[in-house]
A and B are shown apart, each in its own frame.
Chain A
Amino acid sequence: MMDAVQNLLGPLWPVVWTMIKIVAIVVPLMGAVAYLTLAERKVIGFMQVRLGPNRVGYGGLLQPVADGLKLLMKEIIIPTAANRTLFLLGPVLAIAPAFAAWAVVPFDMTLVLADIDAGLLYILAMTSVAVYGVIIAGWASNSKYAFLGALRSAAQIVSYEIAMGFALVGVLMSANSLNLGKIVLAQSGGFWQWYWLPLFPLFIVYFISAVAETNRAPFDVAEGESEIVAGFHVEYSGMAFAVFFLAEYANMILVAMLAALMFLGGWLSPVPFLPDSILWLLFKVAALLFFFLWFRATFPRYRYDQIMRLGWKVFIPVTLVWILFVGGMMQTRWAYLFH
């Protein structure tokens, strides 16, 4: 059956086959995004001794569908003083890199859309491009609050990207590769071989920087509803507003996935007697995502100057020192500990 279709399409077959693979990644991702919003409301609800959404469907399970429908029905209002083209381009630029980065994420030994050698660099580039959605939306809205949110976001993402990049330098020093699949395979050998142990400070720095990069609480000064109403998306409504949310949650899943791949052994099993499987990867991602929700329920929002101090004066020196330490140790006879 596959051969028949292949012959029918001829030279177009690789394009069609890639499209099918893209859909196979994006559709489950959208589902995960929708149910992550429900999980967030439920988890935070339980942490605050409430029930969370529980009216639509059994135990509130259809709540994301209802929310999506509601936002689809709403009108997208474009402010008269806004720059129309850029106003509509903002949400697109927010969500496009959030999805594009998934092209190189491996789910298994063979289950990857594009197995490229510079996968890690590509992901870093895509996550750094994601800031354009926020900046353009903030500027095009022609509103003070939106603009302040955009400026805060730009400064924050540029600062934390450096710490994040240095944390990843440590990983590629240990793995000797920029290919995400090879990075995972370099960690094979069980729980104690994963990179969270030799690169522990980098793991912590990476995860906190990831929270900051995705504009999540306690680093959500770009939204900061108590100071600047809702920041960069204050003028957006309906589906345009929803797209920003989709991008934020898709980015959360992406950075959790990267942390799982680079520091927690990806799809590798923690113990030798259980087989490696994609289920391990999904479990690790879910556990890391729970931390995102937990942070939001626990920590008050950082002050802007504290965010800058943490990024520049704490994280960047920590990563630099640890990279030097790892590089130095690799010249000694304990080098095996860091590979």
Chain B
Amino acid sequence: MIFQDYVFYALATILLFAGLRVITARNPVHAALFLVLAFFTAAGIWLLLEAEFLAIALVLVYVGAVMVLFLFVVMMLDINLDKLREGFWNALPIALPIGLLMAAEMIMILSSKHFSPDMMSAPTPRPAGYSNTAELGRQLYTDYLLPFELASVVLLVAIVAAIALTLRERKDSKFIDPAAQVRVKRADRIRIVSMPSEKEITPETPEPAAEKKR
């Protein structure tokens, strides 16, 4: 075995362990953190395949943004896992055959000749100057331009829809207009009145309104 093989098996072991813990961890926050670990090790395996752009993008997008928001939500929820596990034994008679069936299907497909090592030979190592990022960009913007643009339009629609679904105008919200705050002039807020500093008080003078209120 060469050095890369050792690295692969080490990463793969961690990945499988982390994936298993995602579904078995009792605490949802722990489960989310194990998912982060799984993404990290998956990125490591992609690096071994010389796909550095995809590997770093996985860390950047999934670990750096998606999982942060995911944790954000999971931490605020008070999930009682015992309640979720209550129906486990009732669901087992149906869940077990379905799970076995799916596993059998996957084994059949993955052990077929389309996935045999003969069909997919190991990629030849690229020369040192090869930039995976530049190649990927070139492919996306030439050969796959239409699918790429379609995917971006779908994403844009999803963003607009997500905002449209959650946007509601609250009547009682104390909305602040920052532009108005910046534009405000001294004259809008204070008024300088000229008052004599001393005033002769005659006994008949009624008390000021403010005093009465108190």
Interface residues of A (CB under 8 A from B): 86, 116-118, 121-122, 124-125, 128-129, 131-132, 135-136, 139, 147, 150-151, 154-155, 157-158, 161, 178, 305-306, 309
Contact A117 B131 (CB under 8 A): yes
Q: How many residues of B contact A (CB 8 A)?
A: 24
Contact A135 B56 (CB under 8 A): no
Contact B68 A135 (CB under 8 A): yes
What are the residues of chain A within 8 A of B178 when measuring CB–CB? Answer: 306, 309
**With known contacts A118-B56, A306-B178, A129–B63 Cβ distance under 8 A:** yes
Can you report 22 A-B residue pairs in the complex whose CB atoms are below 8 A from each other? Answer: A86-B29, A86-B33, A117-B52, A117-B131, A117-B133, A121-B53, A121-B57, A121-B133, A125-B64, A129-B64, A131-B68, A132-B36, A135-B75, A136-B33, A139-B75, A147-B75, A151-B75, A151-B76, A154-B71, A155-B72, A158-B69, A161-B64
Contact A128 B65 (CB under 8 A): yes
What are the residues of chain B within 8 A of A125 when measuring CB–CB? Answer: 56, 59-60, 63-64
Number of A-B residue pairs with CB-CB distance less than 8 Å in the complex they form: 68
**With known contacts A147-B75, A306-B178, A128–B63 Cβ distance under 8 A:** yes
Interface residues of B (CB under 8 A from A): 29-30, 33, 36, 52-53, 56-57, 59-60, 63-65, 68-69, 71-72, 75-76, 131-133, 176, 178
Q: Roughly how many angstroms separate A135 CA and B59 CA in the complex, as a whole number?
A: 17
Shortest beta-carbon distance from A122 to chain B in Å: 6
Contact B72 A151 (CB under 8 A): yes
**With known contacts A121-B60, A125-B60, A154–B72 Cβ distance under 8 A:** yes
Q: Roughly how many angstroms separate A132 CA and B57 CA in the complex, as a whole number?
A: 17
User: Which A residue's beta carbon lies closest to that of B130?
Assistant: A117
User: Which B residue's beta carbon lies closest to that of A179?
Assistant: B131
Q: Roughly how many angstroms separate A309 CA and B82 CA in the complex, as a whole number?
A: 41
Contact A178 B72 (CB under 8 A): no
What are the residues of chain A within 8 A of B69 when measuring CB–CB? Answer: 154, 158
Q: Roughly how many angstroms separate A154 CA and B69 CA in the complex, as a whole number?
A: 8
Shortest beta-carbon distance from B184 to chain A in Å: 15
What are the residues of chain A within 8 A of B131 when measuring CB–CB? Answer: 117
Q: Roughly how many angstroms separate A125 CA and B59 CA in the complex, as a whole number?
A: 6
The 8 closest A-B pairs by CB, nearest first: A128-B64, A125-B60, A125-B59, A121-B56, A118-B52, A117-B131, A139-B75, A125-B56
Q: Roughly how many angstroms separate A306 CA and B29 CA in the complex, as a whole number?
A: 30
15 A-B pairs besides A117-B132, A154-B69 with CB distance below 8 A are A118-B52, A118-B132, A121-B133, A125-B64, A128-B65, A128-B68, A129-B59, A131-B64, A135-B68, A147-B75, A151-B76, A154-B71, A158-B68, A305-B176, A309-B178
